[in-house]
């Protein structure tokens, strides 16, 4: 009963969270993994196998873990070269601190089978820019009253020529029950059905209604919900006493449509969660010392709303309706698939203290030609460094902390507005850096 209450409480809290490290996936799940660059596919020390590799749960014993991250992303966007058209400006996103809870539970039904549950979140396509950067009259619209321009309403305007604040908020909660089976003393397989809840809101892109199959369902529609499911499978094996390997695959999660935004997302409001897979190894050269390395692939192009190029808006302007926002092959954020590399080290300094460090490298999913639309979702960080530690409080309980810093990175490119304003030669830049600090309490039973 207590476990059920914890899961329900996290389900209520996680949709308020937002992360954006490896694209809009977290760099890791569980504080032990977060301290080691996110590497966990070949490490069996945590009850977060539902988010990484469910097969590892067969080796972690009876335990539960409850934690939370303080996550702080800093985002900035700027446009230069459009002063003559009153399109030049810059803004920093507000909403720079989020609390992200997480929970894992595992129970050994028998010496060879475990049941568990992992509750975790994704997100991070989250921005909240104040309005008023762009003046009027200008290319956005008239000084007063309805008229020509991108936006018939009077200004001033935000960076996307819309009215009021500009931003997007996407959060995802995933509940992953797990079952794992040992195939002998050193090998296991596991499976985790994935049940997902999404919450989304868009504000301040009123001019884009003119490029939509459903103009009334593009922006400022409040929060909308979506649910769906998928599955994660995994393998974990100890090849020698010093070397372990692991591999995991998560299917694309088929999500219900965001009906209030059926004029924004491709396929009339579709926003599926992309498939991803990982493989890694863990090497223990001596007792108390562990090195781990992992490769992950995230297939953002699985979801048309994420992977389709924003330049399809030009086809829409040319009369190709299925390329318009909300169309069957509608314009999206233009995110490409990314490769992620994770390295971690762990050292048991004493019987009560374990130290960790790590590095995480992710491809930048955003191309320069898609920079305009990604003012809304500047998930461009690439290099992450991490650290962490676990203190044993007694034989059954421990406290774990993890820190992460993602170095500032930017993407620059020609403004999409150049295609619609004769003579405009503006460039845009989006930039982000971020850091987090998390703490977790765990207990074996």
- Which residue is associated with the tokens 């409040």? 222
- Please report which helix (H) or strand (E) contains residue 312, including its range: helix 312-317
| Residue 290, domain member (yes or no) | no
Q: What is the pLDDT of residue 144?
A: 73
pLDDT the model gives residue 332? 96
**On the CB side of 139, how many CA atoms lie within 13 Å of its CA?**
21
Tens digit of each residue's pLDDT (9 = 90 or more) over 228-250: 999 999 999 999 999 999 999 99
| Angstrom distance (rounded) from CA 305 to CA 218 | 13
Q: Tell me, yes or no, whether 206 lies in a domain.
A: yes
Look at residue 254 and tell me if it is in a domain. Answer: no
Q: Is beta strand 224-238 parallel, antiparallel or unpaired with respect to 254-255? A: antiparallel
Residues of the chain scoring pLDDT < 50: 1-2, 5-18
Residue 306 lies in a domain: no
> Does residue 169 form part of some domain?
yes
**Domain total of the chain:** 1
Q: What does the DSSP 8-state code read for residue 157? A: B
Flag whether 312 is in a domain.
no
Task: Let me know: does 378 contact 77? Beta carbons within 8 Å.
Answer: yes
Q: What is the domain range of residue 381?
A: 2-130+165-237+349-444
Does residue 390 fall inside a structural domain? yes
For residue 45, the domain's CATH number is 2.40.160.60
152 within domain boundaries? no
Q: Burial code of 315-350, b = ≥16 C-beta within 10 A, e = fewer?
A: bbeeeeeebbbbbebbbbbbbbbbebbbbbbbeeee
Q: pLDDT value at position 136?
A: 83
Tens of pLDDT, residues 405-428: 999 999 999 999 999 999 999 999
Q: What's the confidence (pLDDT) of residue 374?
A: 95
pLDDT at 12: 46
* Residue closest to 257 by CA, chosen among 226, 233, 230: 226
Distance CA 99, CA 262 (A): 30
Nearest to 71 by CA among 119, 7, 33, 16: 16
């Amino acid at each position: 009963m207590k476990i059920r209450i914890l899961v329900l409480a996290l389900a209520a809290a996680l949709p308020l969270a937002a992360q954006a490290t490896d694209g809009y996936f977290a760099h890791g799940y569980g504080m032990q993994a977060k301290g080691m660059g996110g590497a966990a596919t070949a490490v069996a020390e945590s009850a977060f196998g539902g988010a990484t590799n469910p097969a590892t749960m067969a080796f972690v014993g009876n335990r539960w873990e409850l934690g939370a991250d303080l996550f702080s992303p800093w985002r900035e966007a700027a446009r230069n070269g459009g002063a003559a058209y009153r399109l030049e400006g810059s803004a920093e996103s507000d909403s720079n601190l989020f609390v992200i809870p997480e929970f894992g539970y595992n129970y050994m039904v028998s010496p060879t089978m475990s049941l568990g549950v992992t509750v975790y979140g994704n997100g991070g396509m989250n921005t909240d820019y104040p309005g008023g950067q762009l003046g009027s009259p200008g290319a956005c619209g008239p000084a007063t009253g309805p008229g020509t321009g991108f936006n018939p309403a009077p200004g001033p305007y935000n960076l996307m020529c819309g009215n009021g604040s500009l931003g997007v908020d996407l959060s995802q909660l995933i509940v992953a029950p797990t079952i794992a089976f040992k195939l002998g003393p050193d090998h296991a397989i596991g499976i985790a059905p994935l049940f997902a809840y999404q919450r989304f809101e868009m504000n301040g892109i009123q001019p884009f209604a003119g490029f939509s199959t459903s103009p009334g369902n593009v922006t400022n529609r409040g929060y909308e919900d979506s649910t769906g499911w998928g599955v994660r499978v995994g393998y974990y094996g100890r090849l020698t006493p010093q070397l372990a390997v692991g591999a995991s695959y998560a299917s694309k999660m088929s999500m219900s449509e965001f009906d209030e935004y059926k004029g924004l997302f491709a396929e009339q409001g579709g926003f599926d969660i992309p498939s991803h897979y990982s493989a890694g190894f863990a090497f223990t050269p001596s007792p108390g010392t562990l090195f781990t390395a992992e490769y992950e692939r995230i297939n953002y192009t699985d979801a048309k709303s994420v992977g389709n190029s924003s330049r399809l808006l030009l086809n829409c302007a040319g009369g190709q309706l299925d390329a318009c926002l909300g169309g069957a092959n509608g314009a999206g954020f233009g995110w490409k698939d990314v490769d992620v590399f994770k390295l971690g080290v762990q050292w048991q300094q004493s019987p009560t203290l374990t130290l960790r460090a790590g590095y995480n490298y992710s491809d930048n999913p955003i191309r320069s030609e898609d920079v305009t639309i990604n003012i809304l979702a500047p998930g461009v960080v690439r290099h992450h460094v991490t650290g962490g530690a676990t203190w044993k409080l007694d034989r059954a309980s421990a406290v774990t902390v993890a820190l992460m810093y993602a170095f500032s990175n930017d993407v620059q490119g020609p403004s999409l507005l150049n295609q619609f304003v004769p003579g405009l030669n503006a460039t845009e830049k989006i930039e982000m850096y971020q850091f987090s600090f998390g703490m977790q309490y765990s207990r074996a039973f």
